[in-house]
């Protein structure tokens, strides 16, 4: 949300407060935090009207949570903007620093989040000369999950042919694990090239040793 949007929210909050609406109800209606509303209307001395019956508190809290998530998602998109080539390079290095394999002489990355896996494969293909035939994927699946369905799903996400998927690993059944957890399993992608792995590690070391240029 831009500056004008925030101003409009502030003006609406003040109107509702002058009508006697409680801070929590204003925050819920506008999809903002109660503390923000409090700042916007703190100079208004008004009598708060008595609350009327409404949705259960648990529902109101959930709605406020979802509204705040939507607000933060929009703010995140606004702040991030379009990634430059340099920012994309750094982002992929940061992902590998956290999730990638460090010891073996191969690029190795595993995560159950399709968006994260897709991002990493785009990064790898963008900044390195990859021989697609050498990419491999191994799925880690809990018992009861459909192997063929999961293989097809991850092949589409990763852009790796199903013929390059190796024998999957079936986890030992565990009654404490939810049945819907990781419904397509967790993929582990490897690229056996020591030079590429060293280049990736060089980027992660450079990133972790760098000094960010923070304004102010």
- pLDDT given for residue 20 in this prediction: 81
Closest C-alpha to 40, from 25, 27, 31: 27
pLDDT digits (tens, 9 = 90+) for 83-126: 899 999 999 999 999 999 998 889 999 999 999 999 999 999 99
- pLDDT given for residue 172 in this prediction: 72
pLDDT digits (tens, 9 = 90+) for 125-152: 999 999 999 999 999 988 778 889 999 9
C-alpha angle with apex 161: 157 to 166, nearest 5 degrees? 100
Looking at every residue in the chain, the average pLDDT score rounds to 85
Quick one: tokens of 38?
A: 């409090």
Band (50; pLDDT cuts 50, 70, 90): low
Closest C-alpha to 21, from 37, 5, 8, 32: 37
Gyration radius of the chain's alpha carbons: 25
Write down the pTM of the prediction: 0.66
With b for 16 or more beta-carbon neighbours within 10 A and e for fewer, the 7-37 pattern comes to: eebbeebbebbeeebbbebbbbebbbeeebb
Domains of the chain: 3-80 (no CATH), 85-209 (3.30.1330)
């Amino acid at each position: 949300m831009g500056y004008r949007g925030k101003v409009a929210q502030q003006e609406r909050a003040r109107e509702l407060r002058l009508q006697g609406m409680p801070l929590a109800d204003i925050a819920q209606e506008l999809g903002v935090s109660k503390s923000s509303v409090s700042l916007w209307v703190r100079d208004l001395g008004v009598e708060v009207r008595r609350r009327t019956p409404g949705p259960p508190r648990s529902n109101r809290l959930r709605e406020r949570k979802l509204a705040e998530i939507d607000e933060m998602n929009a703010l995140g998109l606004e702040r991030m903007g379009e990634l430059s080539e340099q920012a994309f390079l750094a982002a992929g290095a940061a992902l590998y620093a956290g999730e990638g394999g460090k010891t073996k002489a191969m690029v190795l990355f595993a995560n159950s989040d399709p968006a994260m896996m897709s991002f990493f494969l785009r990064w790898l293909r963008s900044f390195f000369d990859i021989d697609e035939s050498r990419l491999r994927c191994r799925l880690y699946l809990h018992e009861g999950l459909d192997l063929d369905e999961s293989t097809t799903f991850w092949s589409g996400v990763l852009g790796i042919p199903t013929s390059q998927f190796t024998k999957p690993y079936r986890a030992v059944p565990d009654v404490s694990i939810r049945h819907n957890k990781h419904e397509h399993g967790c993929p582990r992608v490897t690229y056996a090239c020591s030079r590429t792995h060293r280049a990736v590690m060089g980027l992660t070391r450079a990133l972790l040793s760098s000094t960010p240029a923070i304004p102010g």
